[in-house]
Structure 1
Amino acid sequence: MLRSMYSGISGMRVNQTKLDVIGNNIANVGTTAFKVQRVRFQDMISQNAGRASGPSRNLGGINPRQVGLGVQLAGIDTVVSQGNMQPTARNLDVAIDGEGYFMVARGETVFENGIEIYKPDATADSTFELPTDTKGLDIMFTRDGSFIRDHEGNLLNSDGYRILGYSVFGSDDATKDPDKADVQSIAADGTLNFVDADSKKLHASGDLRTLKIPEKIKVKDDAGNEVDKRIIDFTIEKNGVIKATVEGGQKAVIGQVAMASFRNPAGLEKIGGNLMRNSPNSGEAVIRAGVLEKNDDGTSKPSNEAGYGDILQGVLEMSNVDLAEQFTDMIVATRGFQASGKMISTGDEILQDIINLKR
């Protein structure tokens, strides 16, 4: 059989895969925070029809004579470039401007029995990585920040997976009901004023838990007394800190959205639902520590805040699919597929001519 026919088959196969990827990209042009994929080809092994030789006294050198045996798939890459921002004016919609991923989980409620998902080590050489044992929770990653709330106030994604972050507790008792936890008020200059000086739990040694926006929280009134007030609004700051506004206009920090980053984000595995898992080539998730308190000498404790993007409220990240580029690639892939098919039909005509030589 002619080698060209098998080369044509390989060309049709890889161009079909490329068309499949392009079709998926175009279908997800409106998907929140979707990352476009691209297909790369590489040539297959070449058969030597003649070996190369170096120059001699009487003759010059001869280049190798090789016949290529087709094309194969080199890889399907995910392009993790930033998508454009789309304003939504919804306070539960957030987007990441820069590096980072939101963390979501499914499993038993994090607050039950004082379960701690993760307690990072706030030391200078800490990598802030998730432990091997995640307490039975299935943790995934996403850049889709279209959050919702359930009737208990838990922050969720569209499929009901819990959004992870740091919650504020007014006691060292990890089993304390978050609805009854003391929180700190915020002074006009932005200083966090804790109700209890010993209850600074929103920092790098805090527990990574399900984020919750309760109906009521305790705040400190002008007389210094703790009172229960209903939350009427909340905002999410650039560093993910959630600030609630209560009746009377007071503000209080109630938590912080956690973020993760990867040494090779293109190595993440897509699992559908705008969710991803880490793979052996993406590396383990590196977690951004919570808002840090100061040391006794006024210096900041170890932080990895600089390695993450800003969280923007009221906007969503759009898909980074470029339709003009996708349609151009579709034309090229279609013509490549047709040309490979033509090579097979041409080889068939040649074989037919060979068979007719017997007549």
Structure 2
Amino acid sequence: MMRSLYAGVSGLQNHQTRMDVIGNNISNVNTYGFKKGRVSFQDMISQQIGGASKPQEELGGVNPKEVGLGMSVATIDTIFTQGNLQSTGNTTDIAISGNGFFVLKNGDETFYTRAGVFGVDSNGTLVNPGNGLRVQGWMAQNVNGQQVVRTSATPTDLVIPVGQKDPPHATENVHYFCNLDKNMPEIPENPTDEQIENGTWPTTVKIYDSFGNEHIMAMNFRKVPGNPNQWTVTVDVDPNGEFNTNTRIGMGTTDGVENTYTLNFDNTGKLVSVMDSAGNVSNEQGEIILQTSFEVADANPDADGNPYRQTFNLNLGTIGSMENTVTQSASKSTTKANFQDGYKLGYLDTFRIDNSGIITGVYSNGSTRTIGQIAMASFTNQGGLEKKGDNTYVESINSGMANIGESGTAGKGSMISGTLEMSNVDLSEQLTDMIVTQRGFESNAKTIQTGDSMLETIINLKR
């Protein structure tokens, strides 16, 4: 008789545990990155009243007679299914689509989380503002003038230096591609102003000196009289400025040349050669790069006492090509593209985070620069992680060691900036489980009540 009482007690206790887990799931239905728990039951040891016997010649076999002694909790699992994504518009809110965890640090302690509610503290460090844990990743390093992120290194704190200066950068390269109108009229001898204007294709490109000052490089294209497929180009930096920049342009050097060069085209409109004012010609297949220099006002002279000259490369495209190069066709003269890599002094205004977790700084001067990259961790058995509160987990002896790397590798998901992952708790499922748990609890209580009633009946036999 006592066995049923204790079986009922085990049912009450363990259904109460299940109800605790359900209550925790429901309370975190709106917690970002929360992963629901699930309770699994199993029966306890059974008492054997009679053993099994094998079949005999005259009789068949007999099954064992066993009475169960109740039930116990088998597992309390954390279910890591994907939660719905909610757009917030906040750059530092990041959701993980797929597997993986963000890596957080508190001194030497390492934590992992799915909740990407991040922000920047007063030192510019990317943190979880709810608990101050620092987001881990890799800061970009300057390698030969390029910002490079080395994800093979040990992750460290990520610092976003909002307001940091971006020093001016002198223009080093200009890429200039255009089409010249084959039908543009030639400029005759002793031309009028109108004839000069109609026979000239003027273009301008904005460039910068080492101080960050802005300059205008003007290039005027004119057809060479008597040669229908040849153009003379005059280059002048700040042609309308008060200071004479003494612009020069040549093949590989600006020594001994003037500010003009000549373009030669074939009958299909493809560029076949370029010649500078000193007669140096380039007609080999490949990119045409002219060296251009100009004097910078109010600059210290060079070591020989000559005015300081700034030099940059002018890329006109590829000889023999019609793509991304200077061409001559019977259509309106049009600049297809120009690019220059200089800029003035700027300050870090804002930043953005892409799907790889790369943080790119956007400066007030229009330049962009890689700041760092957010790290992600994955585990062989993520269900083996231990919860530490604040939406965080830590490694356990059954989770395996963290595999930390960039997103999109080794089974890791991608990051989505401006979005947060909602809880994966299904409220309708939890309410249904609550009803089932309640009925199970009531039934076990009824077992105890019935067993007590039977004991009372036995006691009353003596009266």
On the 8 A contact 1:33/1:83 being kept in 2, the answer is yes
SS of 1:334 mapped into structure 2: helix
> Which letter does structure 2 place at the counterpart of 1:43?
D
C-alpha distance in structure 2 between counterparts of 1:19 and 1:165, whole Å: 39
Please tell me whether residue 149 in structure 1 is matched to residue 120 in structure 2: yes
Higher gyration radius (CA): 2
Q: Deviations over 1:259-308 (max 9, x none)?
A: 11100111111111011101111111101159xxxxxxxxxxxxx82421
How far off its partner does 1:209 sit?
1.0
Decide whether the 8 Å contact of 1:144 with 1:317 is kept in 2.
yes
Partner of 1:4: 4
Counterpart position of 1:344:
448
Which stretch of structure 1 is more off in the superposition, 18-27 or 48-57? 48-57
- What is the match of residue 166 of structure 1? 138
> How many residues of Structure 1 are paired with residues of Structure 2 in the alignment?
292
Deviation at 1:227, TM superposition (A): 6.6
What is the aligned-residue RMSD (CA, Å)? 1.8
The answer to whether the Cα contact below 8 Å between 1:203 and 1:289 also exists between their aligned partners in 2 is no
* CA distance, structure 1, for counterparts of residue 406 and residue 345 of structure 2: 29
Question: Partners of 2:413 and 2:110 in 1: how far apart?
Answer: 21
SS of the residue corresponding to residue 305 of structure 1 reads coil
C-alpha spacing 1:228/1:272, structure 2 compared with 1 (3 Å): farther
1:222 Cα deviation after fit: 5.4
C-alpha offsets along residues 80-117 of structure 1, whole Å, 9 cap, x if unaligned? 1110001101111000001111011112xxxxxxxxxx
Distance 1:317 1:269 in 2: 20
Paired letter, 1:18:
R
Q: Is the 8 A contact 1:219 1:252 kept in 2?
A: no
Decide whether the 8 Å contact of 1:195 with 1:220 is kept in 2.
no
1:212 is matched with which residue: 155, 159, 165? 159
1:321 corresponds to 2:416: no
Structure 1 residue 50 displacement after superposition: 1.2
Please name the residue that 1:202 is paired with: 149
Higher relative contact order (CA 8 A, sep 6+): 1
Cα distance change on mapping 1:222 and 1:60 into 2, 3 Å:
farther
* Alpha-carbon contact 1:268-1:276 (below 8 Å) kept: yes
Q: Percent identity?
A: 46
| C-alpha separation in 2, matches of 1:45 and 1:205 | 51
1:123-142 alignment runs, 5 A limit: 137-142=108-113
What CA distance in whole angstroms lies between the structure 2 residues aligned with 1:74 and 1:39? 8
Counterpart CA distance in 1 for 2:168 and 2:444 is 74
CA 1:254/1:47 → structure 2, altered by over 3 Å: closer, same or farther? same
Q: TM-score scaled to structure 1, two decimals?
A: 0.78
Contact 1:97-1:311 at 8 Å conserved across structures:
yes
> Which residues of structure 1 form unaligned runs of 5+?
108-136, 171-193, 291-303
Tell me if structure 2 keeps the 8 A contact 1:167–1:207: no
Amino acid at match of 1:313: S
Q: Which moved more, 1:73-82 or 1:224-233?
A: 224-233
Instruction: Say which structure is richer in strand.
Output: 2
Post-superposition shift, 1:2?
2.1
Q: In the alignment, which residue of structure 2 is the partner of 1:25?
A: 25
- Structure number with higher helix proportion: 1
Match of 2:355 among 238, 242, 246: 238
Unaligned runs of 5+ in 2: 173-209, 211-342
- Cα separation, 2, equivalents of 1:275 and 1:228: 41
Q: Deviations over 1:43-90 (max 9, x none)?
A: 001111111112111111111111111011101000011100011011
Are 2:377 and 1:260 equivalent residues in the alignment?
yes
TM-score by length of 2: 0.61
Runs of 4+ in 1 over 4 A off after TM superposition: 224-228
